[in-house]
Amino acid sequence: MIQAVVRKFVSLVLTLLAASFLVFAVTEFSPGNVARKTLGPYAPQESVDLLYSKLGLNDPLPIRYARWLGVLVGAKADPLQDPALGLDFKDPRGDRYFLNFGYSSLYKVPVNDVIWKRLGNTALLAGLAFGLIVPLALVLGILAGMREGSVLDRTISVFGIVTTSVPEFASGVFLVAIFVVWLGWLPGTSPLDAGAGWPIWSQLILPVAVLVLYDTGYVVRMVRGSMAEVMSKAYIRTAILKGLPFRDVVVRHGVRNAMIAPFTVILLQINFLISGVVVTEMVFSYPGFGRMILEASLFGDIQLVEAATLIALVVAVATQFVSDIGYALLNPQIRLS
């Protein structure tokens, strides 16, 4: 078992490295661009040339990637902090420390000064959404799956298909049209700043609702499928035949066994939420991580894009790791083999 966990861990770390190399390759594919984008469009050509040689942009991609990793883990000094470049880049943490993500050319500060606050805002949004999606999906999925083919089942399933067909930006537009334009109950933007007259909690309602609407249907479908399968098993029939009330059959025998398969799906929702927040944060101008990635990509802020993607990948791979291990622990068939 421990051996399997270690093997899984190593393979996920390798996946992570390969994925971050891919991002590095895409963003830094043309070296001339890297220097130009770091310095901005108005920098003199000499500075660009100096940075080009300073960063060793002539070297092949894998070497540059290794160097980037070196700066990241604190084994190498960040070349961008060299005063000779005229970047005026000052990092109070020094030029060599663990998790040195470099310098954001968009915000003109060290990446570490922007990224964690944004990540915290997104964690709040995604955490609230996750906290609503899971119980809602479990209840709906169990209700639908306990009597397959019933009216309730068909209703919940159709509801699930409809909500998963509405992308976040569309449901955002619908909700804004109803609750902001028509009823005037809620604010249309969520800058997380009480100055505009709307308390912070009211600014969270619509973004959270958008995420919940889009993701819940999918989890409901998974829970329903698993529940329906369990309810067709012989031990359920036995429990019913021995006279146990249907309610007890569902709660004691059905639910407990039906929760194993959806466990992974539920954890992997965290990954979908990372995707979902990009759009949701754009709809509501929410100062979060997803919007930051989009703005950084559009601006060409290479260091920030690489840092943010790496963090998103770590979250994604870590949840995958937890869900694989958890699945193995929950499922006796795998645990014992």
Does residue 259 interact with other proteins by CB under 8 A? no
Size of the site for other proteins (CB under 8 A): 66
Nearer to other proteins, 81 or 280 (CB): 280
Does residue 47 interact with other proteins by CB under 8 A? no
For strands 103-104 and 109-110, give the pairing: antiparallel
Print the binding letters for residues 144-163 with other proteins: x by CB under 8 A, - otherwise: -------------xx--xx-
H/E element holding 204? helix 200-231
191-195 contacts, C-beta under 8 A, 24 or more apart? 191/285, 191/286, 191/287, 192/121, 192/286, 192/287
Nearer to other proteins, 4 or 139 (CB): 4
CB 141, CB 154: distance < 8 Å: no
Does residue 271 interact with other proteins by CB under 8 A? yes
Task: Name the amino acid, one letter, at 183.
Answer: L
Contact residue for other proteins among 105, 122, 264, 303 (CB under 8 A): 264
In whole angstroms, the minimum distance from the beta carbon of 162 to other proteins comes to 6
* Nearest one of 104, 115, 59, 112 to 80, comparing CA atoms: 104
Does residue 244 interact with other proteins by CB under 8 A? no
In whole angstroms, the minimum distance from the beta carbon of 5 to other proteins comes to 12
Nearer to other proteins, 255 or 311 (CB): 311
Distances (CA, A) of 20 to 70, 265, 305: 14, 24, 11
R_g (Cα) of the chain, nearest Å? 25
Does residue 320 interact with other proteins by CB under 8 A? yes
Does residue 168 interact with other proteins by CB under 8 A? yes
CB 114, CB 107: distance < 8 Å: yes
Does residue 109 interact with other proteins by CB under 8 A? no
CA dist 155 and 66 (Å) reads: 54
Does residue 227 interact with other proteins by CB under 8 A? no
3-state class percentages of the chain: helix first, strand second, coil last, to nearest 5: 75, 0, 25
Span interacting with other proteins, options 65-73, 101-109, 133-141, 164-172, rule CB under 8 A = 164-172
Does residue 102 interact with other proteins by CB under 8 A? no
Does residue 272 interact with other proteins by CB under 8 A? yes
CA dist 293 and 305 (Å) reads: 6
Provide the token pair at 231. 């309810």
CB 270, CB 213: distance < 8 Å: no
Does residue 164 interact with other proteins by CB under 8 A? yes
If one counts every other C-beta atom within 10 angstroms of the C-beta of residue 154, the result is 12
List contacts with other proteins (CB under 8 A).
Answer: 11, 14-16, 18-19, 22-23, 26-27, 29, 157-158, 161-162, 164-170, 173-174, 176-177, 180-181, 188, 218, 221-222, 225, 261, 264-265, 268, 271-272, 274-276, 278-279, 282-283, 290, 293-294, 297-298, 300, 305, 309, 312-313, 316-317, 319-320, 323-324, 327-328, 334, 337
